[in-house]
Chain A
Amino acid sequence: MSNHERESSRTPAGDTALNRAWQQVSDEQPPPALDAAIIAAAHKSTQGRNERAQVIAASPPQRSWLTRWQPLAAAAAVAGLAFVLVQSLPRDHDVAPSMRMEEPATAPAAAQEKPGSPATRESIEAKTASPPASAVARESVAAPASTNDQKSAADTVTTMRATEVEPRQLAAPEMAGRISSDTAAGAAAPIPAPAPAPAQTTTAKATAARDNVSPPDATDRAAKVAALYAVGDIDGAADALREFRAVDPGADAYLPESLRDWARTVE
């Protein structure tokens, strides 16, 4: 459809004759040379564009510096952040180091033993007779454990220790009290104790060395009875009391006040 044909269909009514006449006379065309020049310019422009497009397509895609190093930079940033966080967190050894010094070396074993069993009695007797130096030393510097459940026996031993016993004789009763406390309380958590002073540690070692060579005396025997009674081994305590009476008829006087009523029942 030529422009003239299109024009005919759109021309206002009554002008078809004019349009026909116009089509007859208006038929000029641009010179062929001009056409060729314009088309050549169009093709040249397109060739230049296509050549640029081919050059762009042939060249390998270049990744930017940021794209190339971005993963490495991100990893380094994460590592640095983690290091800073780790450095800023509190260390374990910075938090209450004394709590780990108090290890329940004998408490779990004693707690597992059944009260009144032969093993318990032998253990108490062995420890009462010759407590190890290390245990005595540790006990001499550690605060005595005390809970509401341990009140009777522990208080008994502690009172006796404070009033009647010489410093060199402290080890056995205190160990017995410690054993009875641990046994009664089960696997109670150890209570933090203050760090020992060097002078106290030296004194405790000397006391332990002397106790290793001295036989059990009346105080030890009384402590043994009290310990057995405290752990519930009434028969054992009665046997020990009888042995004590055999050696010393005035054995009941060495017993704590709380055990004297019971001692009167033992024949």
Chain B
Amino acid sequence: MRAYGRGDARAFDELYARHKAATYRYFLRHAGGDAASADELHQDLWLKVIGARERYAAQAKFSTWLYTLARHRMVDHWRSRHGISLASLEDEATVMQAEESVAAARDGSDDPLHATIDAEARQRLFAALADVPPLQRDAFLLHVEGGLSLDEIAGLTAASGETVKSRLRYAYRRLRAALEDMA
């Protein structure tokens, strides 16, 4: 990122190739498979990265900084689409509201991958993730797609390490249950 900030365009190419799939899937899973929303969020994220190239200060790992931007963009998306914030999603009522919104978005998805032979397994897994409350899903996606450690997630989400670990444990339990149903 520092090389790109100095004007090296190839550095950005390498950076983008390394992180583009993970950030795209992070948005796609949060959007319940809504590719249009994922495209929009993904583009917004990387345009922010481009705009911030000269202000970038390497105070942490680039991936941590990148997913901080991604999460802020995701929170804005949730607020604009559903009128709720990510921080308020611990509340049971808002969890239900969010899950309904995600389910509605999932029903309207026309991802061609759903038509493949693994469509059922994919649907089950993604559906299970969609059932996970957003903060737990966010921790899971940051961990699995972003490759962030528990401490990095804790720092990024302003939560304690134990809280992050608890969120991850809950998400894994829900997904494991979905896999066991498949078996």
Contacts and interface: CB of A to CB of B under 8 A. Distances in A.
Nearest to A29: B21
A3 B147 contact: yes
Interface in A30-82: 30-31, 34-35, 37-39, 41-43, 45-47, 49-50, 53
B169 interface: yes
A26 B145 contact: yes
A27 B21 CA distance: 8
A34 B39 contact: yes
Contact of B43 (A17, A38, A50): A38
A91 interface: no
Contacts of B126: 25
Given A7-B144, A39-B16, A43-B9, A28 B21 contact: yes
B39 A42 contact: no
B22 to A, nearest CB: 5
Interface residues of A, number: 35
Contacts of A262: none
B145 A3 contact: yes
Nearest to B113: A28
B69 interface: no
Nearest to A19: B144
B175 A46 contact: no
B143 interface: yes
Given A10-B143, A21-B125, A46 B118 contact: no
B43 A12 contact: no
Contact of B20 (A11, A17, A27, A29): A29
B143 A7 contact: yes
Nearest to A6: B147
Counting from the closest, the 6 A-B pairs by CB-CB distance are A6-B147, A30-B24, A46-B9, A42-B12, A25-B122, A3-B147
17 contacts: A4-B144, A7-B145, A7-B147, A17-B179, A18-B175, A21-B121, A25-B121, A25-B125, A26-B144, A30-B21, A34-B42, A38-B16, A38-B20, A38-B43, A38-B50, A46-B9, A47-B9
